[in-house]
Amino acid sequence: MLDDKLPQTTIEYLEWGNPNEKKAFEYMLSYSPYDNVKSQDYPHMLFTAGVNDTRVEGIGSVRKWWPSCDKPKQITICYY
């Protein structure tokens, strides 16, 4: 959302706020699940992705969240 040259980014500023403004950026960061992962026990998680979505490859959600996991060997990846 920081790159206002991407399509539809500035449209979302009406709903989420403009992250280029410090107050809005700090608020978004405060509830961002990716940025607020702590080293603690979490319940099992299910990551889903559309295998046939041409905009995002199916493994994309695993690549995004894998580094945040304390014990990545506990993750099972299933494709349907």
Same domain, 43 and 20: no
For the full predicted model, state whether its pTM sits above 0.75.
no
Domain count, the chain: 2
Same domain, 9 and 27: yes
Contacts of 49 (CB under 8 A, 6+ apart): 56, 57, 58, 59, 60, 61, 62
Q: How far is CA 61 from CA 38, 64, 65, in A?
A: 19, 5, 6
Same domain, 23 and 9: yes
Domain span at residue 62 reads 38-80
Give 12-65 pLDDT, tens digit per residue.
898 889 999 999 999 999 988 778 877 777 777 776 666 677 776 666 666 666
